[in-house]
Structure 1
Amino acid sequence: MTAPLADRIRPQTLDEVVGQRHILGPDKVLRRIVESGSIPNLIFYGPSGVGKTTVARIIAQTAGKRLFKLNGTTASTADIREVVAECDTFGGMNGVLLYLDEIQYLNKKQQQSLLEFIENGQITLIASTTENPYFYIYNAILSRSTVFEFKPVSAEEIAPAVRRAFGAMERELGYSVAVSDEVVERIALSCGGDVRKAVNAVELCALAARADGNGNYAVALEDAEQVSQRSANKYDRAGDEHYDLVSALQKSVRGSDENAALHYLARLLEAGDLLSPCRRLLVMASEDVGLAYPMAAVIVKSCVDSALQLGLPEARIPLAEAVVLMCTAPKSNSANLAIDAALADVRAGRGGPPPRCLQNKHYDGAEVEKKGQFYRYPHDYPGHWVEQQYLPDSLRDRVYYTFGDNKTEQMAKSYREGVQRKKEG
């Protein structure tokens, strides 16, 4: 038993694959493509352990073409050239099917070396990746392939696979192993939608099963918990899981759902990532709460400073305070929209010199017909406001900021309008 259990009992047909009913169920697109017998270039995208490699192998076995397998983590340019060379041999006369696992690890030049042969149909590519293919795969290959997304498998779908895996272990070990529903549920829930992880946990549990005085073996719940601990928290600081969790945290705060926001914060902290939520919380205070409650920026900064000084696990407390504060605070993105609008004008080349009254002028040249800067100091006027032009001439009527409909910004709007009315009167 050298290979992991997940490899030893890998499904051999599409019906045996756990999950992915949205693409492999009866009359679903991918299943119909496979059953047609005419296999296009395919890219399978999704997290580890959800069936990408298994489905690719099943398709390759039934394709009727000469099969080559490469892994992006170990494949060299020479390996790719060897596959390409087979296209012109007798064995490759019906075409070559290349199964390329972890394609994201191939560089652009390596991926380009396949392009001509994918284009003319001599090579059919089935590739799998755990990273977003639109970021990591060469665009020319993407345009010639169909991308299917594989999703994490639900605990309900994994539970039967866990029971089958225990049955396989019993056959290999040669004796029965008692497994409670609680053990099956624990493994199914804790694997984070990763079937391979669940099956490998089954193998460890079966090997560690204890015998009672009568020689009967059973898996203890505490052993299942120990084997599967923290495995549900799938996380990669440089991968999609990281960005998905950080994005979910901010969108939950923006949506005023403190329970969801605390959940995603907990997942980040449990993975040992303190810096990412700290940085994102500082952004949220200005981007999402903004001028509806300006003090949020000050309070969140204080909470973040405390968290960074405390470190984990105590850092969770001030960060939770910041999350709940922002979730329950009024929201405004008016400042964010205003600066984006101003930046759009600047990047488009709209502008010009500031009005003369705002320039740092201490003298007038001979070319200036009307001498003087003519700047009016607002503090010298009632209400500390006076009408004068501030924007460049080409943008003098441009409006970037619109007062939000929250209490704080409406109070500021009323103050502004009141001062202006007094001047007009």
Structure 2
Amino acid sequence: MSDLFDSAEKDYSHEPLAARMRPVTLDEYVGQDHIVGKGRLLRRAIAADQLTSVIFYGPPGTGKTTLARVIANHTSSAFITLNAVLTGVADIRESIKNAEQQKKLYGRKTILFVDEVHRWNKSQQDALLPWVENGTIILIGATTENPFFEVNKALVSRSRVFQLKPLTKEDLLKAARQALSNKERGYGKYDVQFEDGALEHLVETANGDCRSLLNALELAVETTPEKWPPEAGEKIFISRETAEESIQKKAVLYDRDGDYHYDIISAFIKSLRGRDPDAACYWLARMVKAGEDPHFIFRRMLISACEDTGLADPNAISIVESCARAFDRVGLPEGRYFLAHAALYLSTAPKSNSSMAFFDALHSVETQDADVPNHLKDSSRDAEGFGHGSGYMYPHAYRDHWVAQQYLPGNLTGKIFYNPSTQGYEAKIRDEVLNRRELQIASLLEEEIKNHPENFYTSEYNKNSPQRSATAKSCAEPLSQWWIDQHQSWFKPKEENLTFTPQDRQKNALLDKAERSWRSRLDSNRAELLEKIKTTLLSMSEIYRHSRVLVWNADDALLIFDLCRKTPEGATYGVCRTKKGIEILKTYQNTLDDLDKTKFVLSSGNIFSENNFARTVAQFNDAVFDRVFLRDCFAAKEDIFRCIKVLKENAPLFSEDARILLSQRIPCDSQKLSDLIIEQIVTKDTDTQTLELLKNMQAFDRKFYSSEKTQIYSWDCNFIKQSLSEAGFKFSLKEECLIEKRRISPAEANLWLDSENSLYGKELASEISSAGVDKIRQLLINNISDRIFNWKAANTFWCIKL
């Protein structure tokens, strides 16, 4: 067994930089915020030393082994590490024997870290299963292969799965700077300087692999001085040329036997089926560049020729077979023309000879990083765990066996590889290919217009034509560079799930029971309306399993139970108005594990009162929030201004992609008493004098509900939009009219129309006389007994991006 996780002080001088700089604490760990960010489940479990079996899955250099080392440094459990490549059943038995002794003699748990766990065969993985099941062993598995495919299903079902992603450029820069500033383990003793662009080149070509970056950094720094190590404080200047020599070439992320193999061939076939030659060329270039077997690609295209093209073009299979035979005769590199030729034929139906489109795509592969959009990934093995394939629209289910959807990666939106000529058969398909491109762009614009109308109808590009923005105009020329630049950041692909927890039936049953309980206390159609509010808010929120969610005024339990289910690897926090509310909510989760429980705190007042937000969330111990849910928090204009101030002043409490989800009723546009009486009480027998009074009351209502005198009515949806826009916030908005079935009591009627104590009653009396108000009051009271009215509420739903 390895001593990889020994924590004793040692001499680092003979270790590679990547080994020296391996983090030992959570604060040193770089990247993977969706797993170990503040408030996430795994971070809380590590800090509380309450880890359960987990599997870390991701490409090399993303921090799987490092994260295991961090856990080893935080836990009081015995820690054993095995490498599946070098060990077998005998080592497993020895580890289990040690674990049993630790439990029996010292009462300590044992954590077993298995690197490359997918390398063990089924019998070796089976040998662990009973001991994981009975709690003798807490397993930490690390694998570069999809665990839903390569790891024993029984082990996966007893483990939480966390997917690690390639590090971002910001993450890599942070790791590089840590190495350059650390005096004990890095190069902090020296004055290391870089030519402009040199360090950035190392980061760019590391392709998300921290180990690759640190290896290149080590080579660049330690080969620059005449002798190593130099004197402390000596200047070491790294030129761009040195950086380029240290990390020669970016590798295309692809594994011929692993996940990328299946995902990219899936994207390629779906692009052929969707008749998108640009995307087909791109995914073909990815496979060829990575060394995929051309015979495998031809085999899949032969299948596609019959499966997706079929009798719509009986020549397709002949063309592809001819290309395959030609490839066998010519070989690489010229054989790439035949691959491109067959792919273009299948993706356009009539024959195309524009094989050069492939090389445009190849250039893009060599110069840009791009991940497979989640909806194009292979869903056959892990749709439930990671949500791969979610959102993919099956073209055969649509008219003409085609549907507009994005097949290229998000950062290549609008990129054109294939430009059909006006010659021969291509002249026949040219209009159809260009028309489909316009329809794809139009479908993206249509969805964006719904979510961001302000980007289309208030744009600075819209000065010459107020009726139609430049974005809308660009539909006529969808290939313009302006369109590509303008939309690059707007269309964000649907993210895949990066974590997975097996279903906990006990927890779900408990949360279901809690939801049924609070609903049973609601009468009329109140539960139905609240369900609609909840559904709309959740649909706008883009909640992920690892999200950290805050629900303000959680006492009514509308959102809290559902969000707890949706964030098993994240966290859900609740702020309540009363201690009684906290007590009731806590009774529902008494039987849950501590890490699964929602934490509730008490608010000392209105969310936007002086420093209340910061004081309240401080009780969550340095938490950071991805989503915050609020309901009806604006009672006056001043609340809107305070909200904006609170959001700006508390920016450190929100993650980079944080969103505020707000359901807000608009009082001035909601039910007016005059309308209710006229529409639901007045009959054909109502006398003329009463009708005249009601007509005057209706005119008064229009004026009263827009008056600056009444703070609760002096603002509307447009005022909120203007305030948010002026503050620099981006947002999407949905408006709905909710109809509540409700009774009106005589006490309510008297209160509303009290000409002495009610502002509304007093103003109405001055408009139509006290006698007139009394007559209307009597009409209302005479007609409310045992009646249920439709009460209209203008409701808005906001998703505010911070």
TM-score, normalised to structure 2, is 0.39
Deviation at 1:246, TM superposition (A): 1.9
Is 1:298 the counterpart of 2:318? The answer is yes
CA distance in 1 between partners of 2:127 and 2:178 (Å): 42
SS of 1:205's equivalent in the other structure is helix
Provide closer, same or farther for how the CA distance between residues 244 and 93 of structure 1 changes in structure 2, counting only shifts above 3 A: same
Partner Cα separation in structure 2 for residue 115 and residue 202 of structure 1: 42
Of the three residues 247, 269, 282, the one matched with 2:266 is 247
Q: CA deviation at 1:74?
A: 0.6
Distance in 2 between residues matched to 1:242 and 1:197, nearest whole Å: 22
SS in 1 for 2:197: helix
Cα 1:406–1:43 change in 2 (3 A) is closer
1:313 paired residue among 333, 339, 354: 333
Higher relative contact order (CA closer than 8 Å, sequence separation 6+): 1
Aligned mates of 1:19, 1:402 — CA distance in 2? 40
CA distance in 2, matches of 1:403, 1:251: 15
Q: Which of residues 247, 252, 257 is equivalent to 1:238?
A: 257
Task: Give the aligned partner of residue 376 of structure 1.
Answer: none
Aligned residues with identical type, % of pairs = 41
Distance, in Å, in 2 between the alignment partners of 1:29 and 1:77 is 32
Alpha-carbon displacement from aligned partner over 1:81-128 (angstroms, at most 9, x marks no partner): 111111332565312111111111122222222222222212111111
Are positions 1:152 and 2:171 aligned together?
no
Shift in Å, 1:200: 1.4
Cα distance in 2 for residues equivalent to 1:174 and 1:35: 32
C-alpha deviation, 1:292, in angstroms: 2.8
Deviation at 1:6, TM superposition (A): 1.4
Question: Judging changes above 3 Å, is the alpha-carbon distance between structure 1 residues 402 and 65 closer, same or farther for their aligned structure 2 residues?
Answer: closer
* 2:218 is the counterpart of 1:203: yes
Closer, same or farther: CA 254–78 of 1 in aligned 2, 3 Å: same
Paired residue for 1:392?
none
**Correspondence for 2:34 among 7, 17, 22:** 22
Q: 1:260 to 1:403 in 2, by over 3 A?
A: closer
1:372: which partner in 2? none
Summarize deviations over 1:255-278 as a string: whole Å, max 9, x none: 333333323222222233333323
Aligned to 2:635: none
**Counterparts of 1:294 and 1:222 in 2: how far apart (Å)?**
54
Distance 2:212 2:278 in 1: 28
Query: Which one-letter code corresponds to 1:282 in the other structure?
Result: L
Of 286, 291, 301, which aligns to 1:272? Answer: 291
CA distance in 2: counterparts of 1:402 and 1:62, whole angstroms: 53
Within the candidate set 108, 126, 137, 2:151 is matched to 137
Contact map agreement 1:189 1:232 (CA 8 A) in 2:
no
Residues 69 and 402 (structure 1 numbering): CA distance in 2 closer, same or farther, change over 3 Å? Answer: closer
Q: Corresponding residue for 2:205?
A: 190
**Residue 239 of structure 2 corresponds to residue 220 of structure 1:** yes
In the alignment, the residues of structure 1 paired with residue 397 and residue 137 of structure 2 have an alpha-carbon distance, to the nearest angstrom, of: 57
The within-5 A match list for 1:323-362 is 323-329=343-349
Matches within 5 A, 1:1-40: 1-40=13-52
Seen in structure 2, the aligned counterparts of structure 1 residues 254 and 171 have a Cα distance that, compared at 3 Å, is: same
After the TM superposition, which of the residue ranges 114-123 and 99-108 deviates more from structure 2?
114-123
Give the equivalent residue in structure 2 for 1:93: 107
Change (3 A) 1:176 1:252: farther
Question: Aligned pair 1:126/2:126, yes or no?
Answer: no
Deviations 1:118-177 (A, max 9, x none): 222121111111111122222222222111111222234323323433445995495433
Q: Distance in 2 between matches of 1:192 and 1:124?
A: 33
Q: Larger deviation: 165-174 or 25-34?
A: 165-174
Letter in 2 for 1:253: L
- 1:71 pairs with 2:86: no
Counterpart-to-counterpart distance in 1, 2:235 and 2:47: 46
1:286 Cα offset (Å)? 2.4
| Whole-angstrom CA distance in 2 between matches of 1:82 and 1:15 | 34
Structure-2 change in CA distance of 1:43 and 1:245 (3 Å): same
Distance in 2 between residues matched to 1:149 and 1:403, nearest whole Å: 34
Q: By percentage of residues, which structure has more helix?
A: 1
Contact map agreement 1:249 1:260 (CA 8 A) in 2 = yes
Residue 286 in structure 1 maps to residue 306 in structure 2: yes
1:125 partner letter:
L
**Using a 3 Å threshold, how does the CA distance of structure 1 residues 229 and 235 change in structure 2: closer, same or farther?**
farther
CA contact (8 A) 1:210 1:219 kept: no
Question: Residues 282 and 192 from structure 1, CA distance in 2 versus in 1: closer, same or farther, beyond 3 angstroms?
Answer: farther
The alpha-carbon deviation at position 68 of structure 1 amounts to 0.7
Compared with structure 1, are the counterparts of its residues 187 and 285 closer, same or farther at alpha carbon in structure 2 (3 Å cutoff)?
Answer: farther
Count of matched residue positions in the alignment of Structure 1 and Structure 2: 334
Name the CA distance, whole Å, in 1 between partners of 2:261 and 2:330.
Answer: 23
With 98-107 and 234-243 compared, the bigger mean Cα shift is at: 234-243
Shift of the 292–4 alpha-carbon distance from structure 1 to 2, 3 Å rule, reads farther
1:41 counterpart residue number: 53
SS for the counterpart of 1:14 is: coil
Contact 1:104 1:133 in 2 (8 A): yes
Q: Which moved more, 1:69-78 or 1:191-200?
A: 191-200
Q: 2:181–2:188: 8 Å Cα contact kept in structure 1?
A: no
Cα 1:292–1:278, aligned 2, differ >3 Å: closer, same or farther?
A: same
Deviation at 1:24, TM superposition (A): 1.8
3-state DSSP of counterpart to 1:125: strand
Contact 1:50–1:152, Cα closer than 8 Å, also in 2: yes
Q: Residue in 1 aligned with 2:95?
A: 83
Amino acid at match of 2:125: Q
Deviations 1:172-230 (A, max 9, x none): 4954333235222322222232221222122222233377xxx9643333443344344
- 8 A Cα contact 1:193 1:232, kept in partner: no
**Inter-CA distance 203–263: structure 2 relative to 1 (3 Å threshold):** farther
Partner SS state of residue 124, structure 2? helix
Conserved in 1, the CA contact under 8 Å of 2:145 and 2:259?
Answer: yes
The code of the aligned residue for 1:53 comes to: T
Closer, same or farther: CA 304–182 of 1 in aligned 2, 3 Å = farther
Q: Is the Cα–Cα contact under 8 Å of residues 67 and 98 in structure 1 kept in the other structure? A: yes
TM-score by length of 1: 0.70
In 1, Cα distance between equivalents of 2:398 and 2:274: 20
Q: Do the aligned residues in 1 keep the contact of 2:167 with 2:210 (CA within 8 Å)?
A: yes
Take 1:142 and 1:114, find their aligned partners in 2: how far apart are those partners? 12
Judged with a 3 Å threshold, the aligned counterparts in structure 2 of structure 1 residues 254 and 190 are, in CA distance, closer, same or farther, namely farther
Instruction: Indicate the residue corresponding to 1:355 in structure 2.
Output: none
Distance 1:297 1:156 in 2: 47
Paired residue type of 2:318: V
* Paired amino acid for 1:38: Q
The 1:164/1:317 distance shift into structure 2, 3 A limit, reads farther
Secondary structure of 1:15 counterpart: coil
Return the offset for 1:406.
Answer: 7.0
Matches within 5 A, 1:42-61: 42-61=54-73
Structure 1 residue identity aligned to 2:161? V
Q: Distance in 2 between matches of 1:247 and 1:403?
A: 20
Partner amino acid, structure 1, of 2:303: V
The answer for the alignment partner of 2:363 in structure 1 is none
Conserved? CA contact 1:45–1:128, under 8 Å: yes
Asked if the contact 2:168–2:208 (Cα under 8 Å) also holds between the matched residues in 1, the reply is: yes
